Amino acid sequence: MDKPPALLVDRVSAGYRGNRHALDDISLKVEMGERVAVIGPNGAGKSTLFKAIVGVVQISSGRITIYGDDTHISRTNVGYVPQQNAIDWSFPASVFDVVMMGRCRHIGWFRWPGKDDHASVREILERLSLTELAGRQIGELSGGQRQRVFIARAMAQDTRLMLLDEPFTGVDQTAEQEIIESLDILTKHGITLLLSTHHMENAALHFDKVLILRQRLLAYGPPVEALTAANLRNAFGSALPIMTKGDDLLMFSVDYADGETVNGSD
């Protein structure tokens, strides 16, 4: 018998913006271990999709399954790393404390972490090169370090499907590379990844598939098939994402299947 996909979204509509759905009749399938970049303009429904998968936003129609089970059964398999602006960075918790929070499902309510929990957290911190930061308060960290801490927390949950909402926003090129290296570690451990981003070059170079949203699903497939000039125009119009690093505008140029060349940015 074939194994079920890591994620199945079947004709899902969810959320409202005015009198229309934020997501309208979305269907997609993600296989185990795949890395999917989710792109689209602001307000396209990327965060709504993630929140529907974890159950924060109720779906109006359709169904979502995770490794074959309905989401209300399988949410323990999902790790969610929200956008940085959704986190209270003044909360008085150390890096070690935040990662240990990921063990709560295993520890249970009103119980203290045991030796195995401490050992698991130390091992994850070492994998993500966070050991030296273990005692630091999370608000003292750089943007890239913060993202790696929340990736580490999700790993501590024994997550099988991880959702990362705009992890590259507000970080420099060095931090960006550190996050990509963290994603490589997750992939080596068989964790399926969905990551929303405006960084089209990262989507093209570091992911198995690209999902393009604008309330509806515009494209889904390997980068060379999804990132066509026509699909990008449908998603962004004439305003492709342009991002700067320092004083330089870093451009990339990709030849797409429909014969056009689209200029974007790193």
User: Could you read off the pLDDT tens digit of each residue along the chain, which spans 266 residues?
Assistant: 678 999 999 999 998 776 788 899 999 999 999 999 999 998 899 999 999 998 888 899 999 999 988 876 666 678 888 876 666 667 778 999 999 888 876 665 666 777 888 888 999 999 888 999 999 998 888 878 888 888 888 888 888 999 999 888 878 888 888 889 889 988 988 999 999 998 888 999 999 999 999 999 999 999 999 999 899 989 988 666 543 333 333 333 443 344 443 444 33
pLDDT of residue 108: 59
Coil/strand/helix, residue 180: helix
pLDDT of residue 144: 80
pLDDT of residue 10: 96
Phi then psi for residue 163, to 5 deg, are -115, 125
* Spatial distance between the Cα atoms of 201 and 206, rounded to a whole number of angstroms: 8
What angle, rounded to 10 degrees, do the helices at 173-188 and 143-156 form?
Answer: 10
pLDDT of residue 103: 82
Q: What is the pTM of this model?
A: 0.82
pLDDT digits (tens, 9 = 90+) for 200-247: 889 999 999 999 999 999 999 999 999 998 999 899 886 665 433 333
Through-space distance between the first and last CA atoms of the chain, rounded to whole angstroms: 42
Query: What would the DSSP string read from start to end of 17-86?
Result: ETTEEEEEEEEEEE-TT-EEEEE--TTSSHHHHHHHHHTSS-EEEEEEEETTEEHHHHGGGEEEE--GGG
pLDDT of residue 244: 36
pLDDT of residue 219: 97
* Pairing status of strand 216-221 against strand 209-214: antiparallel
* Spatial distance between the Cα atoms of 247 and 170, rounded to a whole number of angstroms: 15
Report which of 130, 147, 156, 168 is spatially closest to residue 87, judged by C-alpha positions. 147
* Spatial distance between the Cα atoms of 12 and 28, rounded to a whole number of angstroms: 10
The fold adopted by the segment(s) 7-265 is Rossmann fold (3.40.50)
* Spatial distance between the Cα atoms of 68 and 60, rounded to a whole number of angstroms: 20
pLDDT of residue 253: 40
Residues present in the chain in total: 266
